[in-house]
Amino acid sequence: MKDGVVLEDIIRTTKNHIGEEWTTLARCTGMTKTDIDAIRYNNMLNLVEQIHQFFEHWKRSNGNAATAQALVTALFKELTTSEAVANLKKNGLIERKGMYLLKK
């Protein structure tokens, strides 16, 4: 499976379960407080759009470095017990072998 397909699967699953924790994930990806605040302000009443805009910003800002493994690594910096991570495991997108990895 190509990384782009896996990345989109991980993003889709994460979007559906990350909720307000998207800001924690954003910080773990290196997004600045200014950028996080701008996304929140521009989409004040729409959490779903905030999450969508975060992922769009992350992909644009990181270009070829916006990989599935980079996203999984960011998720596991501070969100190992989150519903988003639980659903990635449940949907078979990641597995544990010493550390969490993309499922091949």
The CATH number of the domain holding residue 81 is 1.10.533.10
Alpha-carbon span 14 to 12, nearest angstrom? 6
pTM for the predicted model, two decimal places = 0.82
| pLDDT value, residue 1 | 43
| pLDDT value, residue 20 | 92
pLDDT in tens, 82-98: 788 888 888 777 765 54
Domain count, the chain: 1
Using alpha carbons, list the distances in angstroms from residue 93 to 9, 19, 23, 39, 53.
8, 19, 22, 27, 22
Q: Residue 30 in 3-state DSSP? A: coil
**Residue 99 φ/ψ, nearest 5 degrees:** -145, 170
> Residue 97 pairs with which residues in a beta bridge?
99
| pLDDT value, residue 99 | 45
Domain range for 98 is 3-102
pLDDT in tens, 28-84: 999 999 999 999 999 999 999 999 999 999 999 999 999 988 988 888 887 777 788
Element (H, E) at 96: strand 94-97
